[in-house]
Structure 1
């Protein structure tokens, strides 16, 4: 059976990993005034976005995911021919309509797939499962990487489905934003109150940065730490301790709002990498998607793994 994995463009994994495992991408359109950028996880295009467009137009940018009909069209055009079973993994449904749109599309795809397969001489049934990762960015990457690695090992669809359903409730994603001003103004535009005026004023005056946890579809600040560098270091130190205590995946994902080549120089990374090597954990480092950047700003650092959620600092 030919099994494929598809993820939306906000899923942070290295470009080489996408290519090696043949992971398909559901693009997201970013509107910047009169301009449009289609986020298809092209690293060079994403770097240009960070350098040339985000700072000037990020506050007013709007992300536009594919509609259910557009997703249907993409599947019927190619994916139903290339695969017999597809796992479509999306950003948490609490943050985007992509999961809802893909779920709506799946009903039409499973009704209409026979015609294009028959015309192409492809026999047998086609199946599709849409999976809400209940996380975002490199957290979604953890789930997509697990699915791709299981496919590579020859696992059957039911085994993969059970593993993903179990793992998605145990993905721990952490993030340190590089710019509270950006986060606050994006929040105001979207009607969110995650960084209030008083908290923002205090945080800016004292250079305090939050460490944000994403877990089971919810995001919340779990620590406030003086300086960006120290916040990133504390986050990496916490994750290193989790690796030592034991996690449920043999990989963890890191994404950065800018050139991912800068990640090894971030405070705390050296120890995290050493612990990962000792534990046989693969680190998958990527540029944070343009779709994510619209909401988090530049220099945001995120890390995620599958495993037990423990109190920050433990």
Structure 2
């Protein structure tokens, strides 16, 4: 069985990894002022856009995920021909309409694929599954990497589906933003009142940084730490501790809203890297997607891994 993998462009994994493993990317368009870019996981383009636009006007950006019709078209043009079963893994539905769009598109795809496959010489059925990763950004990468591992191991579609859906329930995404004023401005633009003016003002005045957690569709603060570097160090230490205790997959994903060398210079990074290496856990590092950066701001850090339920201890 030929199994295909699809992610949206908010999934923070290195572009080279996604290309090498044959992922299809559902892009998200980002418009700032009169300029529009299609987020295709191109690190160079993202960093260029960051330098020229995100810092000054990113909070006013408009983002547009693929519509139901666009997703349907992608599948019917290529995916129903190239594969027999496709897993489409999306950012949490509580933060984006991509999951709902893909799910709605799946109904049309399954109704219309037969003549397309038949014309290409395939008479076998086609199937697809849309999976809500229930998290975002780097943490989305956990499910995607596990899907690659299972496909390479020759596992069948039913086992892969069960594993990925269970994994989504145990994937944690932790984020530390640098600029709470930016985060609040962006939240207001999107009608999200999760970051209030008072908390933003106090956080900036006192240099208090929240540690935000994306888990099972909910995004909420789980700690407040004085100073960005200190917060990052505590998050890296927390992640290293979970690695030592045993993760549900041998994978940790990091993404950063800027040059990766900046992230690697942050306190605690080297200890985390060495711990992952010692425990045979693969560490993926990527520049945050353009979509992610316009939503959470320049210089934000996200860490993702799959683990048994636990509390973040600051």
Matched, 1:265 2:265: yes
Are the aligned partners of 2:134 and 2:215 in contact in 1 as well (CA < 8 Å)? yes
Matched, 1:189 2:189: yes
Matched, 1:30 2:35: no
Are the aligned partners of 1:173 and 1:214 in contact in 2 as well (CA < 8 Å)? yes
Are the aligned partners of 2:213 and 2:222 in contact in 1 as well (CA < 8 Å)? yes
Q: Deviations over 1:209-239 (max 9, x none)?
A: 1110110000111111111111111111111
For structure 1, the 5+ residue unaligned runs are: none
Question: Secondary structure of 2:173's partner?
Answer: strand
Are the aligned partners of 1:23 and 1:148 in contact in 2 as well (CA < 8 Å)? no
In 1, the alpha carbon distance for the partners of 2:35 and 2:208 equals 34
Are the aligned partners of 2:250 and 2:280 in contact in 1 as well (CA < 8 Å)? yes
Match for residue 147 of structure 1?
147
Matched, 1:238 2:225: no
In 2, the alpha carbon distance for the partners of 1:204 and 1:262 equals 21
In 2, the alpha carbon distance for the partners of 1:202 and 1:62 equals 28
In 2, the alpha carbon distance for the partners of 1:268 and 1:309 equals 23
TM-score between the two structures when normalised by the length of structure 2: 0.98
Are the aligned partners of 2:6 and 2:25 in contact in 1 as well (CA < 8 Å)? yes
In 2, the alpha carbon distance for the partners of 1:133 and 1:309 equals 16
Measure how far apart 1:166 and its partner are. 0.8
Measure how far apart 1:154 and its partner are. 1.1
For structure 2, the 5+ residue unaligned runs are: none
TM-score between the two structures when normalised by the length of structure 1: 0.98
Q: Deviations over 1:197-220 (max 9, x none)?
A: 211111111111111011000011
Matched, 1:228 2:228: yes
Q: Deviations over 1:258-312 (max 9, x none)?
A: 1223322111111111111111100011111001111101100000101113111
Cα RMSD after superposing both structures: 1.1
Match for residue 166 of structure 1?
166
Measure how far apart 1:145 and its partner are. 1.1
Are the aligned partners of 1:134 and 1:168 in contact in 2 as well (CA < 8 Å)? yes
Measure how far apart 1:56 and its partner are. 2.3
In 2, the alpha carbon distance for the partners of 1:37 and 1:3 equals 30
